[in-house]
């Protein structure tokens, strides 16, 4: 498969080109994505998805035809839902109408590192992925949400995206006042003053500051970022699957010191 990808890359000359992939399954009636995965996987389409920004993946059985994945210029005209292994192919995946191909236009000669995101009029440069933590957080989250669609995953560099996510998480969690209060609580716990009025007042202050900092919006962003980290772990563990994230043990995988701090009351 690596040799196939190398040869394909040479032919594409590091430029993006529109590609259509067609899966053929014996019978899609009453078939789930999980059943399909027993007969085929994403090993070959992965190569196309990693090299091209504009890919349409179709699945058919000679009678029925459905859109499995789409990205880039195809996504506007051939939308596809988020994939789940339990979904029934014929019920959940949309029918592609190929007359819409006449409305698909691709910028020729576009470098493969430039990708089109739905909410932007310009192209996003994947080479600048590490700079995401520097942009406005809501825009950053919009970009990440689209980058973590199944069809986009093959474009991501594991080390770069993991480091980028860690930096954004650290930036969101950073609260100097909470850090100072935490240090004071640790000092009190080790000085024999645990349970004193001074200690209890400090705990109350810590809780008050934490509640102001840990808003529902912040929690939602952090939860999404940890989900992305888990998805990266799953994807690079087996990149040939159709869908990811059906069994995420998020609490077991994303516990951080900041989430454990609320149990500081045990020092009473």
Q: What is the pLDDT along the chain (268 residues), one digit of tens a residue?
A: 677 776 777 777 766 788 999 999 999 999 999 999 998 999 989 988 988 889 999 999 999 999 999 998 899 899 999 999 999 999 999 999 999 999 988 877 778 788 888 777 788 999 999 999 999 999 999 999 999 999 999 999 999 999 999 999 999 888 777 777 777 788 887 777 777 888 887 788 777 777 777 787 888 999 999 999 999 999 999 999 999 975 444 433 444 444 444 444 444 4
Which pLDDT does position 264 carry in this prediction?
A: 47
Q: Which residues of 112-121 are buried (b: 16+ CB within 10 A; e: fewer)?
A: bbebbbeeee
For the chain, the domains span 1-112, 113-268
Distances (CA, A) of 69 to 74, 89, 116, 217, 228: 9, 12, 16, 30, 19
Is the separation of the CB atoms in 202 and 184 below 8 Å?
yes
Residue in 54, 19, 92, 52 with CA at minimum distance from that of residue 242: 92
| Secondary structure of residue 66 in the 3-state scheme | strand
- Which residues, at least 6 apart from 192, have a Cβ–Cβ distance to it below 8 Å? none
Considering the entire predicted model, what is its pTM?
0.76
Is the separation of the CB atoms in 56 and 20 below 8 Å?
yes
């Amino acid at each position: 498969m690596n040799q196939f990808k190398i040869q394909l890359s040479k032919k594409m000359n590091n430029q993006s080109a529109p590609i259509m992939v067609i899966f053929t399954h014996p019978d899609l009636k009453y078939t789930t994505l999980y059943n399909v995965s027993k007969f085929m996987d994403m090993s070959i389409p992965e190569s196309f998805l990693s090299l091209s920004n504009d890919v349409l993946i179709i699945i058919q059985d000679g009678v029925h035809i459905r859109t499995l994945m789409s990205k880039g210029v195809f996504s506007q005209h051939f939308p596809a839902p988020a994939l789940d292994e339990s979904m029934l192919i014929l019920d959940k995946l949309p029918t592609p109408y190929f007359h819409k191909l006449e409305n698909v236009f691709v910028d020729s000669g576009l470098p493969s590192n430039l990708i089109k995101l739905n909410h932007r009029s310009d192209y996003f440069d994947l080479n600048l992925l590490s700079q995401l933590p520097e942009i406005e957080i809501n825009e950053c989250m919009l970009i990440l949400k689209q980058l973590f669609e199944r069809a986009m995953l093959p474009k991501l560099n594991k080390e770069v995206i993991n480091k980028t996510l860690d930096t954004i998480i650290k930036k969101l969690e950073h609260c100097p006042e909470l850090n100072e209060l935490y240090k004071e609580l640790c000092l009190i716990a080790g000085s024999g003053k645990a349970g004193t009025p001074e200690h209890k007042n400090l705990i109350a202050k810590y809780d008050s500051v934490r509640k102001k900092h840990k808003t529902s919006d912040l929690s939602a962003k952090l939860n999404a970022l940890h989900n992305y980290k888990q998805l990266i772990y799953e994807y690079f563990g087996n990149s040939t699957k159709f869908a990811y994230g059906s069994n995420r043990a998020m609490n077991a995988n994303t516990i951080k010191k900041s989430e454990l701090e609320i149990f500081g009351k045990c020092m009473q």
